Structures are given as C-alpha cells and as structure tokens.
Amino acid sequence: MSDANDAPAEVEDPHEGGFRAHTAITTTRGGPRYAEFSEQVRALMDNARYACPEEGLTDELIDELAAINAKLAAVRIDEWHSPAGTRIDLPSRGNITLPPYTVDSYSEEGVHATLTFRDFHLGGNNAAHGGHIAVAFDDLAGFASAVAIQGVSRTAYLTVQYRSITPLNKPLQCRTWADKIDGRKVFIKGALHDGDRLCAEMDGLFIKLNPGQP
C-alpha cells in the first residue's frame, strides 16, 4: 500500500526572463479538487455578469466576497508556482482569465482546440465580446508558436477579423498554426468556427525570446 509520501516530488520548472524555460506539466498543484474550485470561480463570474441583486442581498454578498478574498489573499504565491496556468488537465490550464478551451491535438501542423465562451464573455445580444475572442486567439497562437519553434515567444502584433457572430455557451472549433518562420519571427494564423461557419480569423507575429529576455 502506498501513501502520499510515496508520491514523486514535483520537479522545479526553471524560468529565465519573462517565461518558464519550458511548459510546466502538473496535475496536482492546488490539490485534487482544484478543478471544482476553478469551476466555481467561473460560475461566480458568469452569475455576476447577469446578476441584479437587491440592496440587502448586495450587502450580504459584499461581506461574503470580502471573507473569501481575505482567505485567498492569505494563500497567494508567485506566478511560477500557482496552479492557475499550469494545470494541464484543466480547461485553459486552469487559467480563469482565459475563455475555457481544451486542446484536441497539436503538432507542427498546428493546434486544434475546442473553445466555449461563457456568460462572463458576453459582448451583447448573446454574442461573445471581441476582446475575449482576441484573448483566446492570443493564447492559442502562442501555443502554436511554441510548438513550431520549440521555445517561448512574445506577441509582437495580433490582428483579428470578425467574420460573423460568435455565440456563447456553445463548443467552437479553433485552429492556430505557424504560417512562416523567419529567424526569431513566427507568423501565426488562426481560425474560429461554429461548425462550418467561420466566426473569426487572426494573423499575428510572435518573436522568439533570447535566453533571459523578459
């Protein structure tokens, strides 16, 4: 019989400059219920986006949220050890600042992901906000760049063309891929589809970081 002491120690993921030296791979940071915690936070964001509480309930919610924030503030750590952004078993690696997506496949040919914009991402009339679409493209384009160059990069520019309405609460297909590599420059393209309908396209330039570059 094994116990917690038999679990392998997590290998420290070094970082230089602005990013980690490589993608952190973890499914344990934050504990076994961190996925539930992340989902509850996303649900809070969704509900708060549409909520219109009465004055008495607003007072009650402020007190409860203040207590929750105090608990979270007491366990804050640095970005390099936070579960958010490193839990590869969770949508968007557990990063709640991103619209939730799951990666279906990735290779030198590109990254394929299933993406869902939730109530929190409302732009208007049940459509996703264009800024949230750009955020999703930026993250998945960075992923495609990392796969293509086997290294980390920063966004130099990102342009999004909005072709049709992007719906909320519906699984969408997103693909990003390296169109051209010129030295440290990685030119990325992307497309977001609702079935056969094209919702948005993107093109961007990512610059591979030199060692230690912020």
pTM, two decimals, is 0.89
Long-range pairs for 92-97: beta carbons < 8 A, 24 or more residues apart: 92/139, 94/30, 94/34, 94/35, 94/38, 96/38, 96/41, 96/42, 96/45, 97/135
List residues bridging with 204 in a β-sheet.
158, 188
Q: What pLDDT band is residue 212 in, cutting at 50, 70 and 90?
A: confident
Q: Given this model, what pLDDT does residue 13 score?
A: 59
Q: Given this model, what pLDDT does residue 61 score?
A: 98
Does pLDDT of 7 surpass 60? no
What's the mean pLDDT in 13-17?
60
Residues whose CB falls within 8 Å of the CB of residue 171, separated by 6 or more in sequence, listed in order: 114, 115, 116
Does pLDDT of 8 surpass 50? no
Q: Do the Cβ atoms of 113 and 104 come closer than 8 Å? A: yes
Does pLDDT of 41 surpass 80? yes
Does pLDDT of 82 surpass 70? yes
